[in-house]
Structure 1
Amino acid sequence: MKLATWNVNSLNVRLGHVLDWLQANPVDALCLQELKLPDEKFPHEALLAAGYHACWAGQKTYNGVAILSRTPLLDVQRNIPGYEDPQQRIIAATLHAPDGKPVRVISAYCPNGQAVGSDKYAYKLDWFQALRGWLDAEIGRHPDLAILGDYNVAPADEDVHDPAAWAGGILVSDPERQAFRDLLGLGLRDTFRLFDQPPRTFSWWDYRQMGFRRNAGLRIDHILATRDLAERCQECGVDKTPRAWDKPSDHAPVVATFGAA
């Protein structure tokens, strides 16, 4: 089973990229973030024609998440239960792996936070706390669970192209990294770090100052999996290919492969 995540930074702009990538990389499920379109504009017919069922939580101009799956999506949950939030950042569903076993998949677009100490930063930390509380319950119900998405957190200095320049700033501050570690404390594993990886492997590069060409990036897109699922993970990596396409997203897909139970 292959699971992938990709912040597409506008599905309307990059639907062609998504379809092309899926044709070349027929994953079992792809989690998308930053759809930037309302529910009624979601291109479900085009995706179904490509062989993918979908569930989504859209929002005009901002945010929005989706899960694309080769098998029907069941028990769909939009947003964090009990957490009032007009921003569409969570969609969860159960799908069946090729071996028939159910897997709970969550697509998450975590808040950016804007700047350390800002109101948006406080919202980010509060949102992560709510996410952790809900995930704790979800993991109890679903032994095989993966939460994929743009976390807007680079967990360690090795995930930052220039740690000194970024030190203490947004995406790398101690409270943000602690929020990420708190998720791992639930028993989740960062599948990327289960394997030896090439140094300076990132998933996001700023459009400005030739960030991608200079590989001046951050690893902020992650696939976390429960212990049982992580033990079956065979590989995880970043596919930088679409970042070099014409008019790309500033993020690249992250893909993890899991063996049968």
Structure 2
Amino acid sequence: MKIATFNINGIGARLPRLLEWLEETKPDVACLQELKAPDERFPEMEIRAAGYSAIWHGQKSWNGVAILAREGLDLVETQRGLPNDPDPSHSRYIEAAVGGVIVGGLYLPNGNPQPGPKFDYKLAWFEALLERAQTLFASEQPVVLAGDWNVIPTDHKDDIWDARRMADDALSQPESRAAFRRLIHAGWTDAIRAIHPRGPVYTFWDYTMNAWARDAGFRIDHLLLSPAAADRLADAGVDRDTRGKEKASDHAPVWAVLR
């Protein structure tokens, strides 16, 4: 089973790129973030025509998450929004059982500018996610938490092109990284680093400063696997070419294959 995550950065504007990517790479499950569309504007017909069923949690102009499943796979929603979400008006989490795996699709708050209320909200939302992750971990089922985490795990070149430029950004703060590491220390596996332990693996390149052409990116899109899922991990990677296409999202899709 190939499970992917893709911050689409506006499903209306990027629908042609999304459909193209689905056709080219054929993930079995795809978690989408930043739909930037209310529920009624989700392109269900186009997604179905591409061979996928879908559940989604939309929001006008901002946020929004979805999970797509290839035709033939049962897709059963198990959670919409986080329990104890500090602001349930934001559509940032959706979860489903699909193909014997629990998949949580998430869009963690950016948190900028920091310090301030937006960064406080980021950390509060992270705490709610940690609580949900603990519940899922205790189930001993195969679980994948996939999405745009808005956390650069380290200052190493493996994770970021220029750590100094991002030193004051909410994505690089010690508190953000500490929350992410709590999951790793609790037994969740970072799929990309399990397969590619060393070397730059970026998932985001800003539209400005010629970042894509210079490969001045960083890694904020992650798939974390519970032990039962990590035991089945066969491969993982980033579809970099998708980022280089016309009118692309500023994120590239990230994926993991489970036996």
TM range (shorter): over 0.9
Which residue of structure 2 aligns with residue 99 of structure 1?
none
Which residue of structure 2 aligns with residue 218 of structure 1?
218
* Rounded Cα–Cα distance in structure 2 between residues aligned with 1:65 and 1:46: 17
Which residue of structure 1 aligns with residue 78 of structure 2?
76
Which residue of structure 1 aligns with residue 184 of structure 2?
184
Residues 109-142 of structure 1: per-residue CA shift (max 9 Å, x gap): 0000012211100000011011101111122235
The 1:198/1:185 distance shift into structure 2, 3 A limit, reads: closer
Amino acid at match of 2:83: P
- The CA deviation at 1:180 is 0.5
Identity %: 41
- The CA deviation at 1:198 is 6.4
Residues 165-209 of structure 1: per-residue CA shift (max 9 Å, x gap): 323532011000001011223321101011235622210011001
RMSD: 1.3
1:103 aligns to 2:101 (yes or no): yes
* Rounded Cα–Cα distance in structure 1 between residues aligned with 2:178 and 2:51: 39
Contact 2:152/2:177 (<8 A) preserved: yes
Could you tell me which of 120, 138, 141 is aligned with 1:140?
A: 138
Which residue of structure 1 aligns with residue 174 of structure 2?
174
* Rounded Cα–Cα distance in structure 1 between residues aligned with 2:65 and 2:196: 30
Could you tell me which of 148, 151, 166 is aligned with 2:149?
A: 151
Please list every run of at least 4 consecutive aligned residues from structure 1 whose deviation after the TM superposition is greater than 4 angstroms: none
Contact 1:168/1:174 (<8 A) preserved: no
* Rounded Cα–Cα distance in structure 1 between residues aligned with 2:254 and 2:146: 9
* Rounded Cα–Cα distance in structure 1 between residues aligned with 2:169 and 2:54: 36
Task: Name stretches of at least 5 consecutive residues in structure 2 with no aligned partner.
Answer: none
- The CA deviation at 1:163 is 1.6
Amino acid at match of 2:88: D
Question: SS in structure 2 opposite 1:165?
Answer: coil
Question: SS in structure 1 opposite 2:135?
Answer: helix
- The CA deviation at 1:21 is 0.7
* Rounded Cα–Cα distance in structure 1 between residues aligned with 2:15 and 2:187: 34
- TM score, norm. by length of structure 2: 0.94
Comparing 164-173 and 236-245, the one that deviates more: 164-173
- The CA deviation at 1:23 is 0.6
Amino acid at match of 1:95: V
Contact 2:110/2:150 (<8 A) preserved: yes
Question: SS in structure 2 opposite 1:152?
Answer: coil
The total of aligned residue pairs comes to 254
Contact 2:55/2:77 (<8 A) preserved: no
1:88 aligns to 2:91 (yes or no): yes
Task: Name stretches of at least 5 consecutive residues in structure 1 with no aligned partner.
Answer: 97-101
* Rounded Cα–Cα distance in structure 2 between residues aligned with 1:186 and 1:60: 35
